[in-house]
Structure 1
Amino acid sequence: MTLTVETRHAVHEDHAKGMDTAELRKHFLAGGMFAEGEIRLTYTHYDRFTVGGAVPNGGSLTLGKVDETRTETFLERREMGIVNIGDTGTVEAAGETYEMNKGDVLYLGMGSGAVTFKGQGRFYITSCPAHHTYPSRLITVADCKEVKMGETATSNKRTIKMFVHPLVMESCQLVMGYTSLEEGSVWNTMPAHVHDRRMEAYLYWGMAPESRVLHLMGEPTETRHLFVANEEAVISPTWSIHAGAGIGEYTFIWAMAGDNVDYTDMDFVQPAELR
């Protein structure tokens, strides 16, 4: 098995103002995470949040020790949220086996030990430090909390599915779910917002190979952008807005960690205020 870990250090907003396109992508875009027969992680210094992909390709992959944490197992002092964005597969941890269909989410509590991925799943991994062990839980699409938002008139009619969320279950820091755009809508979040209490990561998926999402980032009065392809993630610092518009159908998985688990804790920035 191949395990690859890339480290991303935190970037100050003043530094980001002077970045060109290549440097913005180097620091804030995580691509190439889904490789057959591999686990690839991006370990960030934003609340020590980690994103990654595991593609067992019909075989078996085990995530155990990760040198960057200097712990016996990766989850010794961490919790994890996993989304299956592929065909049916299984995840094994702490003596339990969980069958995951496409769109299902698995929460693993702190101390779950090594995690083994099997089958034809395409597993998106998120993880952050934890202070307490909450029970592991498989949350199927039928079990999530679903919220409809937006309007056709403003091109942001969307369905938000909440999985690792206070309305569904308890966790330490991790909050996770995903948002799908209705046909004819392109804006995933507008008005844009920031939340200084939490960082966030976005994984865009379900897109055609030729499609792209124009992801908006940066300070509200110093916005920047990234063109994002299918199965690429954006690492969003606390000082950055996060919004975007896409070509064709897409879904984005949002995952956050920080001082609280209040999904509504955000400071909106109206379009007229953006620069």
Structure 2
Amino acid sequence: MDKLELLFRHRIGVLKTEIITFEKLDIVLEKTAREIPFENLCVIEKRTTDITTENLINKIIKRNEGGLCYELNSILYLFLVENRFHPTLVRGVTYDHIGQQWSPTGRTHVINIITHDGQQYLVDTGFGGNLPLKPVPLNGDTILSNNGEFRVEKADSEYGDYVLYMKLKHKHEDWKLGYIFDSTKVVQNLSELNEVQRIILEHPESRFNKRPLLTKITEQGNIILTDTSFTEWVDGKEDKKEIDNKLFKEMLVDKFGIKAH
């Protein structure tokens, strides 16, 4: 068994004897979402490293940190490869609901596509609090998970050929745009994702280079930590507290298991 595979199983709490079939991917995705936070601390603290297998292991598994989509879905990609899923990584553009436009940072969202019984599925563990938590078929069918309803529809756009729509539990009354991606533009090597990281780090309109943001799915909703607030969603009810820097550092450890640098 590959070193990464064993370490990843240990990180998310999956037994090394468990055979990961397609039917068990929702368990893997749910455990990953609860154990590994979506967070941008390396970007904020200017301590990013190249996207390599070893660096991903060091950051996400050995240092018990999380990451952004290009890190979280890369380590999931490597885990899926070890479990004979033949995934491909592709890039997409997220929808900015405040600006009512596709993100100006371009194709900086990274996701996995797998094929099972002749059907392609989106597998994403890097979309913060908007995670489907299950594979989503690329045929328009709606899947229902603990986080809401999700579907992927064919698109004809300069930005891509498929769109993810979401209706988050307790949060959305109507379907919302998630992101658009191009299933034909496959990432050939993890090193290509260094460009994505560079854009996230440097782009003036990047959402992730301004202030710390951490979020993690919980059993009843999710938690969100910034440098000024801690928000907990429980069964659709929001509890938001203002915090200072001392509390921020304490919550990094208590809520996310991350040591402050």
TM-score, normalised to structure 2's length? 0.28
Give the structure with the higher percent strand: 1
Give the structure with the higher percent helix: 2
TM-score, normalised to structure 1's length? 0.27
